[in-house]
Amino acid sequence: MQVVSDTAGADLGAAEQAAREFLLALGVVLDEDGLEETPARMARGYAELLTARPFRLTTFPNDEGYDELVLARDIPIRSVCEHHLLPFVGVAHIGYLPGERILGLSKLARVAEHFARRPQVQERLTKQVADWLGHHVRPHGVGVVIEAEHTCMTLRGVQATGSRTITSTLLGTLRQDPASRQEFLDLTGVHR
Ligand SMILES: Nc1nc2c(ncn2[C@@H]2O[C@H](COP(=O)(O)OP(=O)(O)OP(=O)(O)O)[C@@H](O)[C@H]2O)c(=O)[nH]1
Ligand SMILES: [Zn+2]
């Protein structure tokens, strides 16, 4: 069984030291009780946001010949934008039209996490999840829709509070066949 993992391994000590200097450079006073351990927490926090958990790629033979859509809606997405390293959070709707094999359902969320836990842009994340499923599951079609709030755009900068960004990638039958495409988008709740 294939195990999917690309954990680089963070140097938490070096990250803590860098976080301390970073905060000091920003004028944050660290000698108060609540802030004393903040550089270490920052190091652990960012390491967590940037490290995906390994997982097993489990598929099963599609013995019954199931040929309708399999769709997992509202899978949580927690990532960081590569421009500001600020979180973007939202949901993914991930579906596929099975071919010879079906995928363990939890793996739809696992693969989303796999590509989310690294500096990202939402467009690339959407496409990477879709391409990965196309490559590893060999389905007749794949659809991925992500709706997310980018805190770099809502908390700072332009401060477009409440704005959410929607991206989608459709492959195979879900891209080529208008009825399948429409069914997928209807089931995700994203109408366009
Ligand atoms: N296409 C895309 N852009 C993103 C994503 N996440 C953040 N960005 C954008 O990356 C851009 C970086 O722009 P810059 O002008 O270099 O940075 P900035 O001066 O901080 O820009 P402002 O956010 O407009 O204040 C911003 O427009 C962000 O909104 C993403 O997932 N996809
Ligand atoms: Zn950003």
Binding site, by residue number, is 81, 84, 152
How many domains does the chain contain in total?
2
Ligand 1 atom index nearest CA of 120: 31
Tell which of 27, 49, 71 closes a domain: 49
83 and 169 in a single domain? The answer is yes
Which CATH number fits the domain that encloses residue 13? 1.10.286
Cα 15 to Cα 10, 43, 52, 141, 176: the distances in Å are 8, 5, 18, 42, 47
Q: Active site residue: 2, 36, 37, 83, which one?
A: 83
39 and 67 in a single domain? The answer is no
> Which residue segment(s) compose the domain that 111 sits in?
58-188
Handedness of CA 147, 179, 104, 118 (dihedral sign): negative
- What is the C-alpha separation between 172 and 31, in angstroms, rounded? 57
118 and 151 in a single domain? The answer is yes
Q: Which of helix, strand or coil describes residue 56?
A: strand
177 and 121 in a single domain? The answer is yes
Ligand 1 atom index nearest CA of 150: 6
Task: Determine the pLDDT at residue 8.
Answer: 66
- CB 121 less than 6 A from any atom of ligand 1: yes
39 and 66 in a single domain? The answer is no
156 and 132 in a single domain? The answer is yes
27 and 78 in a single domain? The answer is no
Query: ipTM score here?
Result: 0.92
160 and 65 in a single domain? The answer is yes
70 and 38 in a single domain? The answer is no
Task: Determine the pLDDT at residue 127.
Answer: 98
Give me 24's structure tokens: 């000091």
78 contacts 62 by C-beta, under 8 angstroms: no
78 and 151 in a single domain? The answer is yes
- What is the C-alpha separation between 126 and 133, in angstroms, rounded? 11
Cα 48 to Cα 81, 117, 153: the distances in Å are 15, 8, 22
- CB 81 less than 6 A from any atom of ligand 1: yes
- For the chain, which ranges sit under pLDDT 50? 192
- What is the C-alpha separation between 10 and 12, in angstroms, rounded? 6
Task: Determine the pLDDT at residue 2.
Answer: 78
71 and 44 in a single domain? The answer is no
Q: Note the pLDDT tens digit of each residue in 4-58.
A: 876 568 999 999 999 999 999 999 999 888 999 999 999 999 999 999 999 999 9
Cα 190 to Cα 78, 147, 148, 172: the distances in Å are 20, 9, 13, 19
- What is the C-alpha separation between 71 and 88, in angstroms, rounded? 23
Give me the half-sphere count of Cα atoms (radius 13 Å) on the Cβ side of residue 141.
22
Which CATH number fits the domain that encloses residue 91? 3.30.1130.10
Q: Whose CA is nearest to atom 14 of ligand 1?
A: 83
- What is the C-alpha separation between 137 and 110, in angstroms, rounded? 14
